[in-house]
Structure 1
Amino acid sequence: MTNRFLTSFFVVCLFLFLPLQSNGQVGSAKSYKNGVIVSAEQRASAIGKEILQQGGNAVDAAVSIQFALAVTLPRAGNIGGGGFMVLHTADGNTRALDFREEAPRKASSDMYLRNGEYIPELSRRGALAVGVPGVVDGMIKGLEYYGRLPLETVMQPAIELAQKGYALSWAQAQSLNSKGEAFKQFKSSSDYFLKENNAPWQEGDLFVQKDLAKTLERIANRGRDGFYSGKTADLIVEEMQNQGGLITYDDLDNYESVWRTPVKASFRGYDLHIMPPPSSGSIAVHQILEMLKPFELKKMEFNSTNYVHLVTETMRRAFADRAYFLGDPDFVDIPQERLLSDSYNKKRMQSFNNDKANSSDEIGHGDIPFLKESSQTTHYSIVDKDGNAVSVTTTLNGSFGSKLAVGGAGFVLNNEMDDFTAEPSEPNMYGLIQGKANAVQPQKRMISSMTPTIVTKNGSICMVLGAAGGPRIITATLQNFLNLAVFGMAPQQAISAPRFHHQWMPDKLYYEEFGLSPDTRNKLSNMGHNLQPRGHIGRAHSIFIDEDGLKYGSADPRAHGSAEGY
């Protein structure tokens, strides 16, 4: 029996046996009166909890968790990548911070072509795949605006973990082993991530990262300058020059994270505050909810044939629009107001057939004039005792990103350049087809599927949502919300419930094994859906707050996340 089979079987069993309760104990999720944190790794969650208990707020905890994940989850948690933060303060203010990677100044739209032929490997592995990292700038900017504690304080736990090392879990050991051959291509990566004599890592092995500890110390002591200039910048530029990359001192020095206005979607009395473009998740989720408004979803029943068919068709249309219209809003004039309008989305559903699947070949983007020519993520959710909430998703793109580590600095770099449209009509590593709006340009930010979300009801926070998993982030976050808001599931049941996914191209309806009954699969197939099973769809970490103010942290059983609170 494969690990994927066992994971799927466990998820479905957990879903089936968790009670649907709306009061008292909710599923198997613990409730907390003060603060709660859910992240992808237990040590990181525990560090965030300690920061809250020391008097820090949700942003302080977020920064501490991010730097801890750079140590304990190097395949995804990082300082060599980028991401998004959505925060809601206790006084009702909601903001979004974009610290997505951007293309180097020497980047060009044809940089992945050789003699006119697209070479996918160039945007996925090695120095040319690397975008200018934004995590460090974003964490520091968020802390400066909204944190309470000094940078040195929130970073100290991560520094100690890197210096002293920690015992690898089975999952962490397997993660390192799975990329052994890729690491061998680069001396720096081999030095950091391969065991002596190329022996496999084992559960319980001590994993020490001395060079990473020094890099973190430079950031803690010098702030932004500890990464984007000085010793660390020297090491990054040297690695780029040695490996034929494009990132220069100017790229690093001039990188800046950007405050943006969240996209607000309203549905059944809930308000969703979602990271705006270059996150595509906000537009896609908003569109899907608009398309679903006329339908009585609860009467259809969870994961019934009619429900899966309807939601799949809305996903198909939203992802088709994503491919054509979305890109970096600083470079592309996105027709956001039209895309999110009730009239436009009603028109998109005019071709919907209750009894038959539309073909993706016949469902293209919507008719809006274009005025001018963004799966290895990690998500964490936090609510503190004062009512501040933070939803953060960061990424390296692929597992261990470009597989290229910075020699002397101890961290791996992203391969986010693959999230650009390297060549129109050619799929990226997640199979997504993308258009000219997302073409490579110097200093442009690539479109992203990361969808950090904060949900309010009557002005009060009730959910903090988000997920990891490439384009499946969007549909996992959407289904987690619908499970809570429409079907009234308990928090742990909502996050454990079987999921499905459609992204327009390829024209396939992915579903989690055991997530749909044989009868439902047969009916969907007869309606024209091309079904394909997957081990899991997304890895979500969410917080739910009930009417009494109790906070429930739910970690996705598909992964190895951890909820901590007090």
Structure 2
Amino acid sequence: MISTQKAILPSFLALAGALFLAPRGSSQSAPKPAAQAETVRAWPKQAVRAPHGMVVSDEELGSQAGIEILKRGGNAVDAAVATAFALAVVEPAAGNIGGGGFMLIRLADGKTTFLDYRETAPGKATRDMYIGKDGKLDEEASVIGYRSVAVPGTVAGLELVLKTYGTMKLEDVMAPAIRLAEGGFAIGEKLAAALQEESPGLDAFATSKRIFLNSGRMFKTGDTLKQPELAATLKRIAQNGAAEFYRGETAHLLADEMAKNGGIISLDDLASYKPKVREVLRAKYDSGGHSWEVLTAPPPSSGGVAIIEALNMLKDVPLKGWGDPQSVHMVAETMRRVFADRAAYLADPDHSKIPVAGLTDPCYAKERASTIDPFKASSSKTVTAGTPHVCGAARNSETTPHLVSSKAEGRHTTHFSVVDAAGNAVASTYTLNDSYGSHVTCAAGFLLNDEMDDFTTQPGAPNSLYELMQSDANAIAPGHRPLSSMTPTILLRDGKLSFVTGSPGGPTIISVTMLSVINWMRLGMEAQAAINAPRFHHQWFPDRIRMEAEFPLSMEQALRARGYEVERGWYYTPSLGIEARLSKHMGLVNAIGIDAQTGERLGAADPRDQGSAIGYGGGKDSAQQPRSARKP
């Protein structure tokens, strides 16, 4: 049978809404958040249970594509590739073939691998390419338009993982995506609102305006979105593989359009792109009478290193839950120090020496944790990066912190999780960077990323999107991969698959994914509760803790009494927009837990943006109300 969950937005107390703080003052008055249509319904309290397979993604049609492949006998990798291509059609803000990402795989036989198909800087890219003659940063050039585009990696990555670990042909797993692009799909309330919000940026490019803004007439909920150019491109890829995208008709279409519009991606850049297979980061812990192993993302993700360092620092710290100010304080101070180290040491591992062993060493974590005052907030002005080292090893000059500057992923990435009947698991996070990437839709019908903004475009200058501090080693250079926060993660309990997780959200990816891990591993929450639980974030600079609306006023007051500056959410402005929007929540975790007693898959979609968990098994297809998803 098929069991489904459509997670939906919650209602907020009027008091909670009033507690959000305005952004810091500037020469102009702070703009008010734009009004947004919002369907107000309760969050689900239980995960979806299914005995065989589960797919959890941001979009119901994306999850259905994965389930379709599982039902046809495909494994989790086959289903993940199908889901990724389908999201490129139905979630244009982040699902993509014009971007890049990471995929973490843990097979039922215990084998693990990490696929890095992150975008790369084109051959003509230069360190100061976004600095004008006046020495000032051109802030728009790296986030919108043709010059903001890095060489896409998604198609190469998905083909490689399918060939290596899948069981089906590319044309078979791409069939659902092609069907959705060619035949169209009904636009939901969420997509209609998103297209309206991003219309200033999309309107600046003719093809984007025609496809996504209905030639200026704007789509409404219930309208059908057909994408014939994208369907044709997907068909060519299905027939000819990634070679079509990087050396065939699609490559020529993209390179020609770049040349005519001031972009710098060439045919050589496309032909030379290669995804990377990297070693999975691992760490072991004991909690609740069980042995746990965390499998997570290595560099150029900064998230895996950060999460392991944080979990090491919190190893001996009692955690009662997020209604306890002491627990929130200790985790926030841990985040502060982890982000200071992230700023100093993380970069592209192919071009920089990164002290991963030291950063993830328990002895170093103990040293870092010893600097936390258990009763009051530290000042980020006095908290600096540490000197990572492994137990018993002397510190050395190779771990000297780099100069720092500021960059981060855009706010809209997408994460999905897949587990099949055999126990193969996939955690995958991929992105266009900001919502709708560069906002350029090329002649081949797909949106292009604005991933060049993930590099350090101006060392020492503040990031307008996230103000995130980051290493000078992340400077723009041909062929380099920009630093990322994307952190697909899998947990094993007593050697068996237990939890598959990950999130979008720029720098909050690290905090949000870590909190989901703590909720499941340390606090013993049920699957859906682990996703619904309120979230908070501290990233060293700016020196403030950000909290979701669900935290009560009493928690905010308790943290302020300890010396924290507290904000509820943050403001952002869509590309080329003039009206700020208030983001009330952090991340969109789409996770799968495993019931240790029954083996059932527990699909927990994030209700913050209508995520979708779909499972199957047991014979005939039918809808099923989710039962209790208690973790033993």
| Distance (Å, rounded) in 1 between the aligned partners of 2:156 and 2:41 | 42
**1:279 correspondence with 2:314:** no
TM-score by length of 2: 0.84
Corresponding residue number in structure 2 for 1:331: 351
How far apart are 1:240 and its partner, in Å?
Answer: 1.1
Corresponding residue number in structure 1 for 2:242: 224
How far apart are 1:350 and its partner, in Å?
Answer: 2.6
Residue by residue over 1:529-564, the C-alpha shift from the partner in whole angstroms, topping out at 9 and shown as x without a partner, is 110001101110000001121110000010121111
Secondary structure at the counterpart of residue 56 of structure 1? coil
Among 484, 487, 494, the residue aligned to 1:451: 487
**1:37 correspondence with 2:59:** no
Corresponding residue number in structure 2 for 1:82: 100
Greater share of residues in helix: 1
| Distance (Å, rounded) in 2 between the aligned partners of 1:14 and 1:482 | 24
1:546 counterpart letter in structure 2: D
Corresponding residue number in structure 1 for 2:447: 412
Corresponding residue number in structure 2 for 1:312: 332
Residue by residue over 1:318-367, the C-alpha shift from the partner in whole angstroms, topping out at 9 and shown as x without a partner, is 11111110011000100111111112122222321112111111112112
| Distance (Å, rounded) in 2 between the aligned partners of 1:133 and 1:5 | 38
Among 486, 492, 496, the residue aligned to 2:522: 486
Corresponding residue number in structure 2 for 1:294: 316
Q: Which one is further off, 354-363 or 311-320?
A: 354-363
**Is the 1:11–1:496 Cα contact (8 Å) retained in structure 2?**
no
Corresponding residue number in structure 1 for 2:629: none
Secondary structure at the counterpart of residue 469 of structure 2? coil
Among 98, 104, 118, the residue aligned to 2:116: 98
**1:422 correspondence with 2:441:** no
| Distance (Å, rounded) in 2 between the aligned partners of 1:388 and 1:11 | 35
Corresponding residue number in structure 2 for 1:53: 71
**1:142 correspondence with 2:161:** yes
1:153 counterpart letter in structure 2: D
| Distance (Å, rounded) in 2 between the aligned partners of 1:33 and 1:329 | 40
Corresponding residue number in structure 1 for 2:589: 540
What are the within-5 Å matches in structure 2 for residues 385-396 of structure 1? 385-396=421-432
**Is the 1:377–1:469 Cα contact (8 Å) retained in structure 2?**
yes
What are the within-5 Å matches in structure 2 for residues 375-524 of structure 1? 375-407=411-443, 409-428=444-463, 429-515=465-551, 517-524=552-559
Residue by residue over 1:391-426, the C-alpha shift from the partner in whole angstroms, topping out at 9 and shown as x without a partner, is 00000110000111112x111101111111111222
Residue by residue over 1:492-534, the C-alpha shift from the partner in whole angstroms, topping out at 9 and shown as x without a partner, is 111001110111111110000132x222211211211110001
Corresponding residue number in structure 2 for 1:360: 380
Secondary structure at the counterpart of residue 609 of structure 2? coil
What are the within-5 Å matches in structure 2 for residues 65-214 of structure 1? 65-115=83-133, 116-196=135-215, 198-214=216-232
| Distance (Å, rounded) in 2 between the aligned partners of 1:73 and 1:132 | 20
**1:554 correspondence with 2:604:** yes
| Distance (Å, rounded) in 2 between the aligned partners of 1:99 and 1:459 | 28
2:503 counterpart letter in structure 1: A
| Distance (Å, rounded) in 2 between the aligned partners of 1:50 and 1:523 | 49
| Distance (Å, rounded) in 1 between the aligned partners of 2:233 and 2:607 | 33
Q: Are the structure 2 counterparts of residues 173 and 110 from structure 1 closer, same or farther at C-alpha, using a change threshold of 3 Å?
A: same
How far apart are 1:204 and its partner, in Å?
Answer: 0.4
Secondary structure at the counterpart of residue 123 of structure 1? coil
| Distance (Å, rounded) in 1 between the aligned partners of 2:165 and 2:359 | 32
2:384 counterpart letter in structure 1: G
**Is the 1:427–1:434 Cα contact (8 Å) retained in structure 2?**
no
Secondary structure at the counterpart of residue 174 of structure 1? helix
**Is the 2:147–2:262 Cα contact (8 Å) retained in structure 1?**
yes
Q: Are the structure 2 counterparts of residues 510 and 74 from structure 1 closer, same or farther at C-alpha, using a change threshold of 3 Å?
A: same
Corresponding residue number in structure 2 for 1:254: 272
| Distance (Å, rounded) in 1 between the aligned partners of 2:422 and 2:438 | 39
1:160 counterpart letter in structure 2: R
**Is the 1:467–1:539 Cα contact (8 Å) retained in structure 2?**
yes
How far apart are 1:11 and its partner, in Å?
Answer: 13
How far apart are 1:13 and its partner, in Å?
Answer: 9.7
| Distance (Å, rounded) in 1 between the aligned partners of 2:12 and 2:212 | 28
How far apart are 1:94 and its partner, in Å?
Answer: 0.8
Secondary structure at the counterpart of residue 437 of structure 1? helix
TM-score by length of 1: 0.94
Q: CA RMSD in A?
A: 1.9
Secondary structure at the counterpart of residue 565 of structure 1? strand
| Distance (Å, rounded) in 2 between the aligned partners of 1:6 and 1:137 | 42
How far apart are 1:188 and its partner, in Å?
Answer: 2.2
**Is the 1:425–1:435 Cα contact (8 Å) retained in structure 2?**
no
**Is the 1:471–1:503 Cα contact (8 Å) retained in structure 2?**
yes
| Distance (Å, rounded) in 1 between the aligned partners of 2:304 and 2:399 | 21
Secondary structure at the counterpart of residue 101 of structure 2? strand
Unaligned 5+ segments in structure 1 are 19-26
1:532 counterpart letter in structure 2: E
Secondary structure at the counterpart of residue 360 of structure 1? coil
| Distance (Å, rounded) in 2 between the aligned partners of 1:402 and 1:5 | 33
Residue by residue over 1:74-115, the C-alpha shift from the partner in whole angstroms, topping out at 9 and shown as x without a partner, is 010000000000000111001100000011111111111112
| Distance (Å, rounded) in 1 between the aligned partners of 2:271 and 2:541 | 38
**1:235 correspondence with 2:253:** yes
Secondary structure at the counterpart of residue 235 of structure 1? helix
Residue by residue over 1:250-269, the C-alpha shift from the partner in whole angstroms, topping out at 9 and shown as x without a partner, is 11001010100111122222
Corresponding residue number in structure 1 for 2:576: none
**Is the 1:12–1:497 Cα contact (8 Å) retained in structure 2?**
no
Percent identity between the aligned chains?
Answer: 44
Secondary structure at the counterpart of residue 379 of structure 1? strand
Q: Which one is further off, 229-238 or 378-387?
A: 229-238
Corresponding residue number in structure 2 for 1:22: none
| Distance (Å, rounded) in 2 between the aligned partners of 1:13 and 1:54 | 34
2:564 counterpart letter in structure 1: H
1:483 counterpart letter in structure 2: N
1:538 counterpart letter in structure 2: G
Secondary structure at the counterpart of residue 86 of structure 2? helix
4+ residue runs over 3 A deviation? 3-15, 368-374
Secondary structure at the counterpart of residue 434 of structure 1? strand
2:344 counterpart letter in structure 1: Y
How far apart are 1:66 and its partner, in Å?
Answer: 0.6
**Is the 2:93–2:412 Cα contact (8 Å) retained in structure 1?**
yes
Q: Are the structure 2 counterparts of residues 559 and 13 from structure 1 closer, same or farther at C-alpha, using a change threshold of 3 Å?
A: closer
| Distance (Å, rounded) in 2 between the aligned partners of 1:388 and 1:240 | 40
Secondary structure at the counterpart of residue 263 of structure 2? coil
| Distance (Å, rounded) in 1 between the aligned partners of 2:118 and 2:524 | 34
Q: Are the structure 2 counterparts of residues 191 and 537 from structure 1 closer, same or farther at C-alpha, using a change threshold of 3 Å?
A: same
